[in-house]
């Protein structure tokens, strides 16, 4: 009985093992050797912070050029450089690890409320009620759906009614970005720190009555930028990060203080570490 | 024919593996967050359950019973299912990368789905023949999928509902599962034989 059961179970294990080994050889699917090389460089923690199912998924996406070389947040710039070498491309600005940033400076006392909202406790719901309770229908509602969405506990509501991000916890997963109904959150790396933190699409001239930090389209920043990295995109100024030298002239010149160095110490949108 | 139909219907509704036998709770709670992933998992479960039912039946009646090794049932079934899933994964990857991508991570996950093992063991306990075993496996898969997809649809709705913090996520999912199980209990009142005039 013992011999029989040993033979059967051991035999089954052996047969399956051999069959699987043979099948693996026979059914081997040719794939890009870059995937294995990238996989060798990645940390192999399978943490999923990049948004792909494990390191294998990210390696595949990078090899197919669906993800940038610097997508691995854990590996940081050293891993990004090695991957860029494997892929045979130069690292681009903004390829480094990204952090969530709020593109609105209209907190309490800066942006005006026109109504009081008492309803379902999500930004999407508040936004759906006749364009929100704020005078500016593009600014942060401050209800904090992003804070609740954050899986890493990296966000909290500041006293000014705007979400703050803890960079030591933020992995740049982008969940908060997708949950914001007004699309005010963006992922930024330390190489692209200077940003126009206003998304108002209201026509120029805009009223400073509604929000004192609204981009009024004065174009002072456009005229003063030494590398002409700033241009007008419709109703707000935008900064071309490939040209930006982070000199900070626009941050000082902006009359409404809606250009911030989001990684510098001066911005009140700066993120506490 | 009618008998097969009754087996199919009873495994889908009356003896639903998830709600009546409480098997496969982990993948059920785990992948019912989103409708799309639930659909992928559902397809993979139906596929693997039918195949596993067929192969384990053969192992039982051509290997274990003739040698009088019935007590090795559980351990050999686990071995068979694990090997089978691995092999299927390789074949699908080779034959149809599209299907492989659609099933994705859910195929290997099923290796550890106890409902699959449950189907195999219950088939033997009920003394089904080969065809009956395969039908029961398919029915089990369809039943699991039905509940999984219904649950995913419910949980997507819950995402926008105002829920007390302590109930968000798994606690509420478990409560809903219990309520669904109670609702499905109603099916056990069906007298399937009478219903189809047997």
Asked if residue B198 belongs to a domain, the reply is: no
pLDDT at position A273 is 45
Question: Hunting for tokens 């026109």 — which residue is that?
Answer: A114
Asked if residue B192 belongs to a domain, the reply is: no
Distance CA B109, CA B131 (A): 26
pLDDT band at B52 (very low <50, low <70, confident <90, very high): very high
From chain B, the residues in CB contact with A125 under 8 A are 160
pLDDT tens-digit readout, A51-85: 787 788 888 888 888 888 877 877 777 788 888 88
Distance CA B190, CA A92 (A): 66
Distance CA B180, CA B174 (A): 10
Contact assignment for A5 to B72 by CB distance below 8 Å: yes
Contact assignment for A29 to B105 by CB distance below 8 Å: no
For chain B, the domain total comes to 1
Contact assignment for B91 to A27 by CB distance below 8 Å: yes
Residue A271 has pLDDT above 70, yes or no: no
pLDDT tens-digit readout, B118-139: 999 999 999 999 999 999 999 9
Distance CA A254, CA A242 (A): 21
Mean pLDDT for all residues in chain A: 84
Asked if residue B195 belongs to a domain, the reply is: no
Contact assignment for B160 to A9 by CB distance below 8 Å: no
Asked if residue B197 belongs to a domain, the reply is: no
pLDDT at position B186 is 86
* Structural domain harbouring B133: 2-187
Contact assignment for B76 to A9 by CB distance below 8 Å: yes
pLDDT at position B146 is 93
Asked if residue B193 belongs to a domain, the reply is: no
Asked if residue B32 belongs to a domain, the reply is: yes
pLDDT tens-digit readout, A8-40: 889 989 999 999 999 888 887 777 788 888 888
From chain A, the residues in CB contact with B80 under 8 A are 12, 16
**Paired strand residues for A98:** A189
pLDDT at position A91 is 67
Q: Are B169 and A148 spatial neighbours (Cβ–Cβ below 8 Å)?
A: no
Distance CA A15, CA A7 (A): 11
Distance CA B168, CA B153 (A): 16
* DSSP states of A101-116: EE-----BTTBPB-S-
Asked if residue B59 belongs to a domain, the reply is: yes
Would the CA dihedral through A21, A23, A26, A29 be positive or negative? negative
pTM value surpassing 0.90:
no
From chain A, the residues in CB contact with B104 under 8 A are 53
Contact assignment for B86 to A20 by CB distance below 8 Å: yes
To test the contact with chain B by mutation, choose from A7, A11, A12 the residue with the greatest count of B C-beta atoms within 10 A, namely: A12
Residues 146-185 of B with CB under 8 A from A: 160, 162
Distance CA B85, CA B111 (A): 6
pLDDT at position A268 is 65
Instruction: Name the least confident of A183-197, A203-217, B73-87, B163-177.
Output: A203-217
Asked if residue B194 belongs to a domain, the reply is: no
* B86 interfacial to chain A (CB closer than 8 Å): yes
pLDDT tens-digit readout, B80-98: 898 888 888 888 788 777 7
Compare CB distances from B69 to A8, A19, A27 and report the shortest one's residue: A8
Contact assignment for A8 to B72 by CB distance below 8 Å: yes
Compare CB distances from B69 to A5, A124, A125 and report the shortest one's residue: A5
Domains of chain A: 33-87 (1.10.15.40)
Give phi and psi for A232, each to the nearest 5.
-90, 130
Give phi and psi for B33, each to the nearest 5.
-70, -40
Distance CA B137, CA B124 (A): 12
């Amino acid at each position: 009985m013992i011999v029989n059961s040993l033979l059967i179970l051991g035999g089954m294990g052996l047969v399956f093992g051999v069959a699987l080994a043979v099948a693996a050889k026979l059914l081997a699917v040719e794939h890009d050797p870059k995937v294995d090389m990238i996989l060798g460089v990645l940390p192999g923690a399978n943490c999923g912070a990049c948004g792909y199912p494990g390191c294998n998924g990210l390696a595949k996406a990078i090899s197919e050029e669906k993800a940038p070389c610097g997508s691995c947040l854990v590996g940081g710039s050293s891993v990004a450089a090695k991957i860029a070498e494997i892929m045979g491309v130069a690292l681009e600005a903004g390829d480094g690890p990204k952090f969530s940033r709020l593109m609105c400076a209209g907190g309490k006392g800066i942006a005006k409320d026109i109504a009081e909202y008492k309803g379902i406790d999500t930004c999407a719901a508040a936004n759906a009620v006749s364009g929100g309770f704020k005078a500016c229908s593009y600014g942060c509602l401050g209800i904090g759906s992003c804070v609740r969405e954050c899986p890493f506990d990296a966000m909290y509501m500041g006293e000014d009614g705007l979400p703050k991000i803890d960079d030591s916890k933020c992995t740049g997963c982008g969940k908060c970005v997708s949950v914001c109904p007004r699309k005010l959150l963006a992922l930024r790396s330390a190489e692209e720190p200077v940003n126009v933190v206003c998304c108002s699409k209201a026509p120029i001239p805009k009223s400073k009555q509604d929000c004192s930090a609204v981009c009024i389209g004065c174009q002072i920043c456009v005229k003063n930028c030494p590398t002409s990295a700033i241009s007008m995109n419709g109703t707000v100024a935008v900064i071309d990060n490939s040209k930006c030298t982070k000199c900070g002239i626009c941050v000082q010149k902006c009359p409404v203080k809606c250009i911030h160095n989001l990684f510098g110490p001066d911005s009140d949108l700066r993120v506490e570490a | 024919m009618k008998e097969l139909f009754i087996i199919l219907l009873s495994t889908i509704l009356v003896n639903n593996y998830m709600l009546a036998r409480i098997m496969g709770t982990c993948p059920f709670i785990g992948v019912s967050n989103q409708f799309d992933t639930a659909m992928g998992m559902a397809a993979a479960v139906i596929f693997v359950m039918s195949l596993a039912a067929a192969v384990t039946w053969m192992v039982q009646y051509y290997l274990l019973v003739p040698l009088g090794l019935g007590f090795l049932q559980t351990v050999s079934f686990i071995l068979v299912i694990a090997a089978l899933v691995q092999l299927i994964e390789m074949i699908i990857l080779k034959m149809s990368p599209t299907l492989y991508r659609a099933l994705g991570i859910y195929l290997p996950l099923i290796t550890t789905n106890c409902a699959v093992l449950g189907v195999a063991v219950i088939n033997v306990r009920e003394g089904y023949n080969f065809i009956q075993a395969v039908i029961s496996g398919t029915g089990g898969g369809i039943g699991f999928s039905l509940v999984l997809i219904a649950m995913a649809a419910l949980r997507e709705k819950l995402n926008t509902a105002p829920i007390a913090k302590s109930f968000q996520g798994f606690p509420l999912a478990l409560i809903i599962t219990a309520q669904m199980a109670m609702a499905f209990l109603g099916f056990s009142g069906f007298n399937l034989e009478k219903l189809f005039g047997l």
